[in-house]
Amino acid sequence: MATKVHGCTTDDIEYLRHGDRPMILRLYRPASAGPFPCVIDLHGGAWNNGNRTECHDRAVVFAEAGLATAAPDFRQAADAYPTSSVDVNYSVRWLKAHAKDLSIDPDRIALSGQSSGGHLAMLAAMRPDDSRYGSIPVGDGSVDARVVCVGVSWPVINPLSRYRNALRGAAENPPEKWVGDIPSCHDIYWKTENAMAEGNPVLILERGEKVELPPAMWVNGQPDPTHDYLDPDSGGDLREPERFAKLYREAGGEIEVVYIEEKTRLTRTSFDPLAAFFRKHLA
């Protein structure tokens, strides 16, 4: 049953099931008539925590801008990589296959995400045809997982460097406050450093893999030692946002990096640039 909230309607829909575990997607749609362009928004939580409800504030702003937002739950934590990517890839194809019934436009789908969700969004946008991620079929197989564009908020774009950076921070005396449970969350989800390197948008580009490069936006607060830092193993002097942006452009992609005050990152200061970006590319 649809619920009205802040000028839009929301519906919780089971889009996938793993055994007795339903995966729920919360769909926000503007109050006007569709079909709407749709942003698939992925919650953060270091691949271990969080759920679809954490996308609410951003989804409301997107709805005000005329965008539908689909916030899916997905497997995480001990389900381990690449289960989240499997569910995200499926959610893109599922929304396209059911677009008519959901009043969304299957040709105007984008990805978004925050922190670890930003990593998953970029990974999904770059690897829509990965056979592992697309291992669960949808309908007759006629829809793909490609998206028009991708906008991410302080993504963990390089899981391996973030893991090593957190280990260094934990070894300080006293330990860096931002580290928290980051190392253990990486261990639970990724299991190995090899996995962190394989499912890694930065290293994918450095390896020269053939990937999709849709128009992209990265929004990041400053200062933010958790997501905006220099990887000493990179051999360069660019912090991770600019390092990734340089690689993305060199590979032929278009990306804009927007910096905001860290203390305002969960407000319209970060939501509005993304809404404008999606309106531009999903027009």
For the stretch 135-172, pLDDT in tens is 999 999 999 999 999 999 999 999 999 999 999 999 99
CA 43 to chain CA centroid, Å, is: 7
pLDDT value for 210: 97
Residue in the structure block whose two tokens are 């939580």: 45
Residue 79 confidence (pLDDT) above 70:
yes
Distance CA 56, CA 60 (A): 6
Stretch 20-28: mean pLDDT: 98
Residue in the structure block whose two tokens are 């996938």: 16
For the stretch 203-230, pLDDT in tens is 999 999 999 999 999 999 999 999 999 9
Q: Which pTM does this prediction carry?
A: 0.97
Distance CA 170, CA 186 (A): 14
Q: Which residues contact 234 (CB under 8 A, 6 or more apart)?
A: 161, 243
CA 130 to chain CA centroid, Å, is: 16
Continuous segment of H or E residues that includes residue 72: strand 68-72
Q: For residue 267, what is the DSSP state?
A: S
Asked if residue 92 lies in contact with residue 109, where contact means CB atoms within 8 angstroms, the answer is: yes
Q: Which residues contact 144 (CB under 8 A, 6 or more apart)?
A: 93, 96, 128, 129
Residue 1 confidence (pLDDT) above 80:
no
pLDDT value for 161: 98
Distance CA 252, CA 243 (A): 15
Residue 6 confidence (pLDDT) above 80:
no
Asked if residue 210 lies in contact with residue 130, where contact means CB atoms within 8 angstroms, the answer is: no
For the stretch 29-77, pLDDT in tens is 998 888 999 999 999 999 999 999 999 999 999 999 999 999 999 999 9
Residue 4 confidence (pLDDT) above 70:
no
Asked if residue 261 lies in contact with residue 268, where contact means CB atoms within 8 angstroms, the answer is: no
pLDDT value for 2: 65
pLDDT value for 157: 98
For the stretch 111-128, pLDDT in tens is 999 999 999 999 999 999
Asked if residue 88 lies in contact with residue 127, where contact means CB atoms within 8 angstroms, the answer is: no
For the stretch 225-276, pLDDT in tens is 999 999 999 999 999 999 999 999 999 999 999 999 999 999 999 999 999 9
pLDDT value for 34: 86
Report helix angle 116-126 to 83-97, nearest 10: 60
The CA angle 240-269-230, to the nearest 5 degrees, is: 15
Residue in the structure block whose two tokens are 């893991």: 163
Residue 7 confidence (pLDDT) above 80:
no
Asked if residue 10 lies in contact with residue 42, where contact means CB atoms within 8 angstroms, the answer is: no
Pull the structure tokens for residue 161. Answer: 């460097």
Asked if residue 87 lies in contact with residue 132, where contact means CB atoms within 8 angstroms, the answer is: no
Asked if residue 125 lies in contact with residue 109, where contact means CB atoms within 8 angstroms, the answer is: no
In a 13 Å sphere around the CA of 65, the CA atoms on its Cβ side amount to 25
5: confidence class by pLDDT, cuts 50, 70, 90: low
Q: Which residues contact 209 (CB under 8 A, 6 or more apart)?
A: none
CATH of 3-281, one of 3.40.50.720, 3.40.50.1820, 3.30.2090.10, 3.90.1200.10: 3.40.50.1820
